[in-house]
């Protein structure tokens, strides 16, 4: 069958370097770090005492206080970013067929703070089981798309994808395929996460996954640098309106770019460590190219998973060199996690938005905080170090990989009428 074309018609971002799409893009191209000491709780006794929190965000500016109390922060973030994306798309909600509009959302953890606080409150009590009646609805990962659909009346497919840090990329791929196959006209997709909590930070510290560069938080997320020592935990949300091309054209929609394909794979290797030979990462990029109908030499830019971990960064770059061969040195490679930190299940969403805006504006955001070259990384690769670079990007890819060996890659292309 002839697959339908899918385009991006709306974007929304709530990130540690900007609470709107415009602010996020400005932070990216200026190389702003979102890392700072934790303010949500007393982190004095933690190995890591900093994170990439949202700045100057007050949920009651967007959601009624009574309603907001019924939601975990990850759901609040989802509603705020999806509202911005829907407004950006200029969809007339009274004119579209809401039976053909879905919401497919990614979250790696869901309501972690809600779960943590309910358990702490119970443990501090006398053993009587007193729990918030909204405990379960606030905690479950699928409540974010549920709330987006309830607010807007969207009655198409509605669910959450959970694949750790690949969650929102998997959500985008599912959304792409539903529209390609003609099941939906429009899908709100993306992801949100709010894991900067006592249990979130404590758990990742116990795994030795986080940077402990407490003396200089703003330089702690340093992908590809020889002195990188782990990722920096982030939070927020990204929302993307995917729409069938003819549907978008018929209503005169602004089109950012086309989504041309996606790939998925599994490392089948280890719970948390990447395969040292990058076998799963090689497979996911090859799958994405094949699914998109692209050749390796078509790709101008890759936003890597690039978490700033000693093993992961090297494995991913070796995989890129393997897949793209000599052309790898012609690709602008970057890691926007150097600025935003790692948003876990929302990472794929905000990084896809960075790629979409790169295609739109012809500027590749930098990989900041690089000061010392790693001898295990090919010096011929253009890692877009420390300063944004102007480039006409026609085709770009976004990589996301999650604990459990989950790999996802999405490809975007400047619209070819």
Quick one: pLDDT at residue 416? 85
Dihedral sign from CA coordinates of 270, 273, 276, 278: positive
What integer pLDDT is reported at residue 36 of this predicted model? 98
Per-residue confidence (pLDDT) for residue 276, from 0 to 100: 81
- CA distance from start to end of the chain: 21
User: Which of 247, 275, 301, 342 is the catalytic position?
Assistant: 342
Q: How many CA atoms lie within 13 A of 113 on its CB side?
A: 16
Q: Hey, how many other C-beta atoms are within 10 angstroms of the C-beta on 39?
A: 12
- Residues contacting 94, CB < 8 A, separation 6+: none
The 3 state secondary structure assigned to 263-275 is: EEEECCCCCCCCC
Q: Of the candidates 192, 199, 186, which has an alpha carbon nearest to the alpha carbon of residue 162?
A: 192
CA–chain centroid gap for 342, Å, is 8
Q: Which is catalytic among the residues 165, 184, 257, 409?
A: 165
Cα–Cα distance measured from residue 229 to residue 130, given in angstroms and rounded to the nearest whole number: 42
Measure the CA–CA gap between 148 and 80, rounded to whole angstroms.
10
- Convert 327-354 to b/e letters by CB count within 10 Å (16 or more is b): ebeebbbbbbbbbbbbbbbbbbbbbbbb
Provide the 3-class DSSP secondary structure of residue 117: helix
Could you tell me which CATH class the domain 6-250 is placed in? alpha beta
| Mean pLDDT per 10-residue interval, the chain, length 417 residues | 95 98 98 98 98 98 97 98 98 97 98 97 94 97 98 98 98 98 98 98 97 98 98 98 98 98 94 85 98 98 97 95 98 98 98 98 98 97 98 98 95 91
Instruction: Tell me if residue 301 is catalytic.
Output: no
Instruction: Kindly state the DSSP code that residue 328 receives in the 8-state scheme.
Output: G
Fold equal for 6-250 and 263-413: yes
CA–CA separation, 198 vs 50, rounded Å?
A: 12
Classified as helix, coil or strand, 116 is: helix
Q: Do residues 142 and 159 touch, judged by C-beta distance below 8 A?
A: yes
Q: Tokens 């405990």 identify what position?
A: 135
pLDDT of residue 417: 67
The predicted pLDDT at position 110 comes to 97
- Look up 342 and say whether it is catalytic: yes
pTM of the predicted model as reported, rounded to 2 decimal places: 0.97
In this structure, are residues 388 and 29 in contact, taking their beta carbons and an 8 Å threshold? yes
Max Cα-Cα span within the chain? 67
- Give the pLDDT of residue 348: 98
Where are the chain's structural domains?
A: 6-250, 263-413
Q: Report the top-level CATH class of 263-413.
A: alpha beta
- Please tell me which residue in 247, 275, 301, 305 is annotated as part of the active site: 305
Helix (H, G, I), strand (E, B) or coil at 231: strand
332-334 sheet: strands from edge to edge:
158-161, 101-106, 186-193, 236-244, 6-14, 257-266, 406-413, 395-402, 301-303, 332-334
């Amino acid at each position: 069958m002839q697959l339908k074309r899918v385009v991006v018609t709306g974007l929304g971002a709530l990130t540690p370097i900007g609470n709107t799409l415009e602010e996020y893009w400005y932070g990216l191209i200026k190389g702003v770090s979102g890392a700072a000491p934790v303010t949500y709780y007393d982190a004095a006794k933690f190995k890591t005492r900093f994170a990439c929190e949202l700045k100057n965000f007050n949920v009651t500016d967007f959601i009624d206080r009574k309603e907001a109390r019924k939601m975990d922060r990850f759901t609040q973030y989802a509603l705020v970013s999806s509202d911005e994306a829907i407004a950006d798309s200029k969809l007339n909600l009274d004119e579209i067929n809401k039976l053909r509009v879905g919401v497919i959302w990614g979250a790696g953890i869901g309501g972690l703070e809600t779960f943590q606080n309910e358990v702490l409150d119970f443990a501090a009590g006398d053993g009587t089981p007193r729990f918030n009646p909204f405990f379960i609805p606030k905690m479950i990962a699928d409540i974010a798309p549920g709330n987006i659909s309830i607010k807007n009346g969207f009655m198409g497919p509605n669910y959450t994808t959970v694949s750790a840090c690949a969650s929102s990329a998997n959500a985008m791929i599912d959304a792409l395929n539903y529209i390609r196959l003609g099941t939906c006209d429009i899908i709100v997709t993306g992801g949100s996460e709010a894991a900067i909590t006592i249990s979130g930070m404590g758990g990742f510290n116990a795994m030795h996954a986080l940077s402990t560069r407490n003396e200089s938080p703003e330089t702690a997320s340093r992908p590809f640098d020889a002195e990188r020592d782990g990722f920096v935990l982030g939070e927020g949300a990204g929302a993307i309106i995917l729409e069938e091309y003819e549907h978008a054209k018929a209503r005169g929609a602004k089109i950012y770019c086309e989504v041309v394909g996606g790939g998925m794979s599994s490392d089948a290797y280890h719970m948390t460590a990447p395969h040292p030979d990058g076998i799963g990462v090689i497979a996911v990029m090859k799958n994405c190219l094949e699914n998109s109908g692209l050749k390796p030499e078509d790709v101008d830019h890759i936003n890597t998973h690039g978490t700033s971990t000693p093993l992961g960064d090297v494995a991913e770059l070796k995989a890129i060199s393997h897949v793209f061969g000599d052309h790898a040195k012609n690709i602008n490679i970057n890691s926007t996690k150097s600025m935003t930190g790692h948003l876990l299940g929302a990472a794929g969403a905000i990084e896809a938005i960075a790629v979409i805006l790169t295609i739109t504006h012809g500027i590749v955001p930098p990989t900041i905080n690089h000061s010392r070259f790693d001898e295990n990384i090919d010096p011929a690769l253009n890692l877009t170090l420390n300063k944004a670079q102007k480039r006409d990007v026609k085709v770009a890819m976004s990589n996301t990989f999650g604990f459990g060996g989950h790999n996802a890659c999405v490809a975007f292309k400047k619209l070819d009428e």
